[in-house]
Structure 1
Amino acid sequence: MRTALVNVIVMLGMLVIVPFGLRLVAPPAPVLLRRLWPLLAVPGAVALWLPRGPAATALASVYALATMALALHAPARLRRTRSLAPAEIAVLTALVTPAVAGVALVAERSGHELFGFDLEILALTVPHFHFAGFAAALVAGLVCRSADGPTGRFAALSVPVGTLLVLAGYFVDDWAELAGALVLTAGMWAVALLTWRDVRRSSAERLIRALLGVSAAVLVATMLLALSWALGEATGLPHPDLTWMAATHGLGNALGFALCSLLAWRRLKETTAWAR
């Protein structure tokens, strides 16, 4: 399902969410990759609007190579940090998941049904792994570091695990995807709880508190929509269609959760001792 709305959501992920998020990763991602990211993401954004074919595929491939370079930073980071703490697992997941989106984008723009998935599923995989993959995992890691404790560690682990289970569900069946959605929702709701209860209250700045409050509230609603869709797909019960999900779940997660969260954490990094 390639609509103008989905294209705009994907562009937000490519051009804003990923580069914003990379500035919050500590230790930071390679400087050269962070500086070049906007230039590498523009061809991918252009590819979204072209008809399927060689030109769109070539431009999408440029972006896919950037995501793969980011994914290769994950094992290098692991060798350097030698840490598999929950917050670190979440960050490693954030570094890897855009590559799934990049590969799906190339396949969809070329008209190739990768692993037998139809082009509609591939098109929706691209935004999913920018937001449920990169943004959600990164924010879960940030929340875990800021509000360390059992709930924070649960969030930092269950968001990556849920995201990977949803991906595995693509290859298995709708029930496996529902199981992944349940795990991911539990983790995202834990992120929302800690964001509202701990992180938001720790800041005296009204703008930060407002952004974090919006992100937590939106996350509860959008993940409830995701659960209803996954349950409907598995059981046959009535559920929203994909167009409606893009306009509600997709847009809400993109603007209300991911963008608001990253803006708030960027401001926190600038104004609090946590960043130092």
Structure 2
Amino acid sequence: MLTLVHLVVSLGMLVIVPLGLSLVKIDGGTTVRRWWPVAAVPGVISLWLGRGPLSITLASIYLVGTLVLALLAANDLISRKRLRAREIALYTALATPAIAALALVAERSSYKLFGFSLTVLSLTVAHFHFAGFAAALVACLVVESTSAKTATAAAISVPLGTGIVLLGFFLGDPVELAGAVVLTAGMWLVGWTMWRRSRAAERSTKVLLILSAGTLMVTMLLALSWALGHVVATPYLPLRWMVATHGVANALGFALCGLLAWRRLKEWDEARRPA
């Protein structure tokens, strides 16, 4: 199972984060994206080494890179002096990789951070690259593309749900369930907006948007069943199968396809602008 988790995290570090950065405008974002492999490659290598001083050092390099992303968010907030739905989603996207990186450093150190097992810490690394960075960044792109109230609601509820899920790690399963409900609602609103956006897109972009939106409908049901099953006696998939279904589908079907679709949409919009 951990091999699959590491593959998913490697995709997040090497592809999802820089691809996402290329789709949003923020001071310093282009520079950070250009230098991102300097942090991401050591982070990926640390995943595949045994726990010890070398993997801790490499994971720490990645942590520094993610803290730079968080600094971009802080700098942008200070310069804008306002916090709208777009900024809430964008800043969440830029901050959550640092949570993932902190969990990675702890896991590589064999340190049970806040009492969590090493397996939970490994899953936290994956969770905050996708349910954190990718989900919030797509929500940011969604609210940039339309003034519809559903998009605004998505850009607020996705970060809110992510935050409540994080609190649930410390406060217990009922809080995590509440977070899963809010996050699911936000992600379904994201999917709805993407589906509507697909109707005016060219064929390959339409396929990517529909695949990304459709993936969310299934994977978030799995997330709800998992959270609910830990509060009341309802069936849910074992952890291994959650990684193989919910985790992999979100990484490939939602995050990768979704970001590729938005890149094509932005390229199309730029090509239509008058010279």
TM-score, normalised to structure 1, is: 0.96
Q: Summarize the alignment of residues 35-184 of structure 1 with structure 2, pairs less than 5 Å apart.
A: 35-184=34-183
CA shift at 1:238, angstroms?
2.4
Q: How big is each residue's C-alpha offset from its partner over 1:34-59, in whole Å with a ceiling of 9 and x where there is no partner?
A: 11101210111011111111111111
Q: Tell me what 2:220 maps to.
A: 223
Contact map agreement 2:225 2:234 (CA 8 A) in 1:
no
Residue aligning to 1:200: 198
Deviations 1:80-132 (A, max 9, x none): 22231111210111010100000000001110011111111111000100001
Instruction: Give the corresponding residue for 1:259.
Output: 256
Distance 1:106 1:236, change over 3 A: farther
- 1:10 aligns to what? 9
Contact 1:268 1:275 in 2 (8 A): no
Say if 2:151 and 2:190, in contact at 8 Å, map to a contact too: yes
* Alignment CA distance shift 1:269-1:29 (3 Å): farther
2:237 alignment partner, SS class: coil
Q: 227, 236, 239: which is aligned to 1:239?
A: 236
Contact between 1:90 and 1:156, CA under 8 Å: does it hold in 2? yes
Kindly provide the amino acid, as one letter, of the partner of residue 9 in structure 1. Answer: V
8 A Cα contact 1:22 1:28, kept in partner: no
Q: Percent identity?
A: 57
Name which of 248, 265, 269 aligns with 2:266: 269
1:180-223 deviations in whole A, cap 9, x for unaligned? 000000000000111102x11232x1111110000000011000
Q: CA deviation at 1:152?
A: 0.8
Task: Look up the equivalent residue of 2:219 and give its one-letter code.
Answer: T
- Aligned residue-pair number: 273
Does the aligned pair in 1 maintain the 2:194–2:213 contact within 8 Å? Answer: yes
The separation in 2 between residues aligned to 1:224 and 1:143, in whole angstroms, is 21
Q: CA deviation at 1:274?
A: 9.9
After TM superposition, give the deviation of residue 253 of structure 1 in Å.
0.3
What is the CA RMSD across the aligned residues, in angstroms? 1.4
The 3-state SS of whatever aligns with 2:153 is helix
Contact 1:89 1:156 in 2 (8 A): yes
Q: TM-score, normalised by structure 2?
A: 0.96
CA contact (8 A) 1:101 1:126 kept: yes
Q: Would you identify which runs of 4 or more consecutive aligned residues in structure 1 move more than 4 Å? A: 273-276
Q: Does 265-274 or 215-224 show the bigger shift?
A: 265-274
Give the secondary structure class of the aligned counterpart of 2:13. helix
Matched to 2:71, the amino acid is L
2:26–2:72 CA contact under 8 A, matched in 1: no
For the residues of structure 2 that align with 1:97 and 1:275, how far apart are their CA atoms? Answer: 34
In 1, distance between residues paired with 2:16 and 2:39? Answer: 14
Match of 1:234, SS?
Answer: coil
Q: What's 1:211 paired with?
A: 208
| Equivalent AA in structure 2 for residue 98 of structure 1 | P
Displacement, 1:28? Answer: 4.9
- CA deviation digits over 1:48-72, x for unaligned, max 9? 1111111111111110110011111
Give the CA deviation at 1:73: 1.0
Residue pair 1:162, 1:180 contacting (<8 A) in 2 also: yes
Contact 1:158–1:184 (Cα < 8 Å) also in 2: yes
